[in-house]
Amino acid sequence: MNIREATRGDVAAISELLIQLAERFIVGSYSEEGRDTLLKSFSPRAIHAYFEQGYRYHVGETDGTIIGVVATKDNGHLYHLFVHETCQGRGYARALWEVAKADCLARGSPGRFTVNSSLNAQDVYRAFGFEPIDGIRDSGGVKFIPMASERTGARAGSTPRPTEQLKSGGDRNAESEFREESVMKTRECNAELAVGWIEAWIRMDMEWLRQRLAPDFVHVSPFGRFEGREAYLEAVEPIARKSVLKLKVKEVIASDDRAAVRFENRTPGGVVETCDWLRIENGVIREINSFYDSARIREILSPSEQDSLDGSLGPGVTQ
């Protein structure tokens, strides 16, 4: 993905991307008033007005197509951060935010940033260092959670890139900082991938899963062990469509090669608390261990459905 500063010539593409993602992931549970309010704020006319008011936009492109957008206001408020659904879970949101944040700091930001997170995005923002500063708010039917992030370390306005630091002297300290930053970025990408795993099952997005699961993917759960991506998806998808009513992410943690996501799975038989541990290599999920009360799942599956799995019920079923 190539990231560049947006121009007014990008307004139509930005608007189209924002509206598409909002309709798919955000406004489904809104009132008619909330839906109209949010979608109107994503219209080309509204975005043109944001440009006029000094909002700073950057876009991410692949093959000349805009697949991500980030916007900031007053060098301190993250106003928009969206990535096309087929490109989520690759660290693109993090990359866009880092560019926007560096731009704000270079323009004099003291390093405190805020964002009004949609209800299903707060875990991603937590991975970026934001924390809630209030409960759920409602403005014109649009629901959001105010969050804030404090920047520590380098002074505002000084945002050298890691490679520049390595060339500038103080090599040992700079190299250590570079390694720490690389590890942190990897952890944040892994946390984003874990959230993407859950969101893919919410959408029943098999294409996303095929792109993010290794061909020799392994899933282990109270029902047993399942080996092979295609066999796993073939067995789990139809039962997931029956058993998954709603998923809610509660917590995400990540290391340089693993991530854990704790979530609630609302099924026809009630809520099933679940935790998935992911083993990740080079941005691909190689193995998942799922922990949950299998008895709650068996209550909603017929004997033939349980037999058809013959191995494991993964997030598509237990979430």
Of 178 and 147, the one with more pLDDT? 147
Position 146 scores a pLDDT of: 92
Structural domains of the chain, count: 2
Residue 253 has what pLDDT? 86
146 DSSP 8-state letter: E
End-to-end CA distance of the chain, in Å?
31
Quick one: 153 and 212 in the same domain?
Answer: no
Give the CA dihedral 109, 114, 115, 119, nearest 10 degrees. 160
pLDDT of residue 311: 47
3-state secondary structure 43-61: CHHHHHHHHHCCCEEEEEE
Looking at residue 313, its pLDDT comes to: 43
CATH number of the domain residue 225 falls in: 3.10.450.50
Q: What is the mean pLDDT of the segment spanning 152-181?
A: 40
Assigned domain for 45 exists:
yes
How much is the CA Rg of the chain, to the nearest whole Å? 21
Domain limit, last residue, from 109, 143, 159: 159
Residues written for the chain: 319
Tell me, yes or no, whether 264 and 129 share the same domain.
no
Q: What is the mean pLDDT of the chain?
A: 81
Q: Are residues 61 and 104 in the same domain?
A: yes
Domain of residue 139 covers 2-159
Residue 186 located in a structural domain: no
State the CATH number of the domain containing residue 108. 3.40.630.30
pTM, to two decimals: 0.52
**The pLDDT of residue 176:** 46
Residues 154 and 207 in one domain: no
Q: Are residues 84 and 227 in the same domain?
A: no
* 261 has pLDDT over 60: yes
Instruction: Please tell me which of 71-80, 143-152, 218-227 the model is most confident about, judged by mean pLDDT.
Output: 71-80
Query: Does some domain include residue 187?
Result: no
What tens digit of pLDDT does each residue of 85-141 get?
888 878 888 899 999 999 999 888 888 999 999 887 888 898 889 999 988 888 888
Of the ranges 38-47, 64-73, 187-196, which one carries the lowest mean pLDDT score?
Answer: 187-196
Q: What pLDDT score does 151 carry?
A: 58
pLDDT higher than threshold 90 for residue 160: no
What average pLDDT does range 143-152 have in this prediction? Answer: 81
With cut-offs at 50, 70 and 90, classify the pLDDT of residue 47.
Answer: very high
9 and 155 share one domain: yes
Nearest to 254 by CA among 232, 272, 276: 276
pLDDT at 177: 44
60 and 141 inside one domain: yes
* Residue 172 within a domain: no
Torsion of CA 221, 224, 225, 231, to 10 degrees: -90
Q: Which of 115, 139, 159 is the last residue of a domain?
A: 159
Given a cut of 80, whether residue 180 has pLDDT beyond it is no
Residue showing tokens 């890139």: 161
Mean pLDDT over 237-264 rounds to 85
165 pLDDT band, cuts 50/70/90, is very low
In this predicted structure, the answer to whether residue 308 has a pLDDT above a threshold of 60 is no
Q: What is the pLDDT of residue 310?
A: 46
Gap between the Cα atoms of 204 and 218, Å rounded: 19
Please check whether residues 149 and 286 belong to one and the same domain. no
Query: Does 170 fall in a domain?
Result: no
Do 32 and 110 belong together in one domain? yes
On whether both 197 and 243 belong to a single domain, the answer is: yes
Would residue 173 count as lying in a domain? no
What percent of the chain shows pLDDT beyond 70?
82
Give yes or no: residues 154 and 239 share one domain.
no
Among 137, 159, 181, the domain-final residue is 159
Same domain, yes or no, for 155 and 109?
yes
pLDDT at 174: 43
Predicted confidence at residue 306, as pLDDT, reads 61
In a domain, 168, yes or no: no
Q: How far apart, in Å, are the Cα atoms of 19 and each of 3, 25, 27, 84, 250?
A: 21, 10, 10, 11, 26
**171 in any annotated domain:** no
pLDDT in tens, 11-44: 999 999 999 998 888 887 788 898 999 999 999 9
